[in-house]
Amino acid sequence: MMPSSKKRKVLITGAGGALGSLLVRAFRDRYQLRVATRERRDDDLFEGLEAHYASLADLETMEVLCSGIDTVVHLGGRSLEDSWDEIRTSNIEGTYCVFEAARRQAVRRVVYASSHHVGGFLPRARITSAGDELRPDGLYAVSKVFGEALGRLYADKHGLSVICQRIGVCRTAPPHRRSLWSWLSEPDFIHLTERCIEAEGVHFHVVYGVSNNTRKQWDDAGARAIGFFPNDDAERFVPQMQGHLDEPAFEARFQGGGFCADGFDGDPIRLD
C-alpha cells in the first residue's frame, strides 16, 4: 500500500447506498476518502471520514467536493426505474454536474457506475460486448446511456480519464434466474472498482461488471484490459434456487428481463 501521504484522494458519490457502503468499508484505509450522499445516516459508516450531504445536481457544491480529488467514483443517483422528473434530476442533471465539476477541478479520472440495462433489449441468446449497439430498457437505462456518452465527450474533448462500469446484479447472492449470468458478487465489485481507480493509461473505457459466472453472456475483454479478473461464480447457488428458476418467455428473451416487460406495449414480433 502507498504511504499515507501518497494515498489517492477519492470522492465516492452515493456513498450511503448499498454499493457505496461496500466501497467505503473496503477503501477507508486504502484511500483518502471524501464521501457524498443525499441522506444522513444514523450509523458509524462515515466515522472519521470527510462526509458531505448534498445534491449532485448542485454544480457549485460538486466543485467543492471535487477540489483536490484524484478520482471520483460516481455511484450517486436513482438506481431503479422511476418518474422522469426523478431520473432527470438525479441521473442526468446530477451526472452532468459531476463530470463538469471534475473537469473544472482537474480531477484525473471519473469511474462512472453505468448499468447492464443500457443493453436491456439486446437478445440474451448471444454473447455481447461493449461495442454492441445500446438498447436501453427504461428511462433509468436511458440515463445511463447519457452518462456513458457524457463520459466519452469529457474524455475526448477535455482529456478526462473515464471508465464506465456496466454493473450487473450486485448482491450477496444472485436473487433470480436472470442473475445466474448477470450476477456481480460484492467482493468482485470491490475488486473491479479498485482496478478502475488504479488502472494506468486509460482514456475512455467500458467494462462489464460481472462475476466469473459459468452462464455469463458478456465478453470480458474490457475487464482483462484493466486487470479485473473476477473470482466468484453464480452457479454454486443453483441448488438453492430450484423451484425459482422459471421466467416468463418474453423476459427470458432479453438481457434486461423484467425491466423490458415493465410498461411494455409495443409489438414483440418487431423485436430481434
Active site members: 140
* DSSP of the chain: ---GGG--EEEEETTTSHHHHHHHHHHTTTSEEEEEESS--SSSTTTTSEEEE--TT-HHHHHHHHTT-SEEEE--S--S---HHHHIIIIIIHHHHHHHHHHHTT-SEEEEEEEGGGGTTSBTTS-B-TTSPP---SHHHHHHHHHHHHHHHHHHHH--EEEEEEE-EESSS--STTHHHHEE-HHHHHHHHHHHHH--S-SEEEEEE----TT--B--HHHHHTT------GGGGGGGGTT-----HHHHTBTTTHHHHTT--S-GGG--
* Pairing verdict, β 9-13 and 32-37: parallel
Q: Do the strands 183-184 and 109-115 form a parallel or antiparallel pair, or are they unpaired?
A: unpaired
What gap in Å lies between CA 269 and CA 168, rounded to an integer?
A: 27
96: which 3 cell numbers? 452532468
129: Cα separation from own chain's centroid: 16
